[in-house]
Amino acid sequence: MPVLYGAMRSRATRNVWLANEIGLDLQVKPVLQAYRLTDPQAADAPLNTLSPTFLAISPAGAIPVLEDEGFVLAESLAINLYLARKYGGDLGPRDALEEALMEQWALYGATAVESFGIAVLYAYADKREDTPAGAAEIAAAVKSLTRPLKVIDAHLAAHGHIVGGRFSVADINMAEIMRYVSGHPTILQDYPAIAAWLAACQARPAFQKMWAARLAEPA
């Protein structure tokens, strides 16, 4: 059985969502982000991203990490592409062209969208949106997001899904990145195709099951 080292309040959610879609028995072994603990290096600290035993598996000290039949893989989007190819049937690519497109969109989401989405999410989550620094941070992130969100909105308006005209791992990867962006209360009003697609993705039972598990984990 594949094992995922991670926490539900981390990018592991995208892997758990995919596993739920497939019906894959993915065992989640709890590893917390070190910053969530008062003393991550205390002898009785739970397994965390600074624990030597975790660093032996993942030198980058980041979650999630997958272990499958002795094969170790980091990077949440790469993990999803791997799981979809190996276990996901039609959720994965049907051919080399779809595979390339799924990689293209995952990389686009990771490089053009994710960090700005996270900046927005944290500014609101930390209630800094009305401070001068917080407002400036949000404005800068929204500006950087304008071009990629236009591209993705037009793509979804034309095709309905990220790749292949069907729901796939490419939608899960982009939807989880877009979830961070949607931490901004109004930004998606300007991108109606993204808003409709994201709502449909998040209405899926496999997302709802993942989300319930995420909410059940203490912040």
Ligand X SMILES: N[C@@H](CCC(=O)N[C@@H](CS)C(=O)NCC(=O)O)C(=O)O
What residue ranges bind ligand X (CB under 6 A)? 10-11, 33-35, 49, 61-64, 75-77
Which residues does 100 contact at the CB level (< 8 Å), separation at least 6? none
What is the C-alpha separation between 102 and 100, in angstroms, rounded? 5
Which residues does 174 contact at the CB level (< 8 Å), separation at least 6? 105, 106, 109, 152, 162
What is the C-alpha separation between 170 and 197, in angstroms, rounded? 13
DSSP state of 176: H
In the complex, minimum distance from the CB of residue 110 to ligand X, in angstroms, rounded to a whole number:
7
Closer by beta carbon to ligand X, 80 or else 153? 80
In the complex, minimum distance from the CB of residue 189 to ligand X, in angstroms, rounded to a whole number:
27
In the complex, minimum distance from the CB of residue 60 to ligand X, in angstroms, rounded to a whole number:
7
Closer by beta carbon to ligand X, 24 or else 78? 78
Closer by beta carbon to ligand X, 10 or else 182? 10
Closer by beta carbon to ligand X, 20 or else 49? 49
Taking only Cα atoms into account, the Rg of the chain, rounded to an integer number of angstroms, comes to: 18
In the complex, minimum distance from the CB of residue 198 to ligand X, in angstroms, rounded to a whole number:
19
